[in-house]
Amino acid sequence: MVNRCICHNVPFATVAAMARDGRSLAEISQQTNCGMGCGLCRPYLWVVLTTGATNVPVLSPSQAAQLSSKVDPLLPKPKGKKQP
């Protein structure tokens, strides 16, 4: 099971609570940095936000890629990277 953003030590329970309080994923990410490191938690964030689950089974590579394509446009752009 996956239950947090490892890079920034943000439990998915915190993400779910912030979402229940009405914050967008972009706001949650800006406030916690969740999803702004290696990016491995990004597909899990989609599961957290759409199901409320805070312990998510490990996703297959194809599942992770599919969900990342949904969540990536909702997150802030990483700082310091130039956009094409």
Helix (H, G, I), strand (E, B), or coil: what is residue 56? strand
Considering the complex, state which of residue 7 and residue 23 has its C-beta at the smaller distance from ligand FES: 7
Least Å distance, CB 21 to ligand FES, is 20
46: CB partners within 8 A, 6+ apart: 67, 68, 70, 71
Site residues, ligand FES (CB under 6 A): 5-7, 34-41
Considering the complex, state which of residue 28 and residue 36 has its C-beta at the smaller distance from ligand FES: 36
Least Å distance, CB 27 to ligand FES, is 16
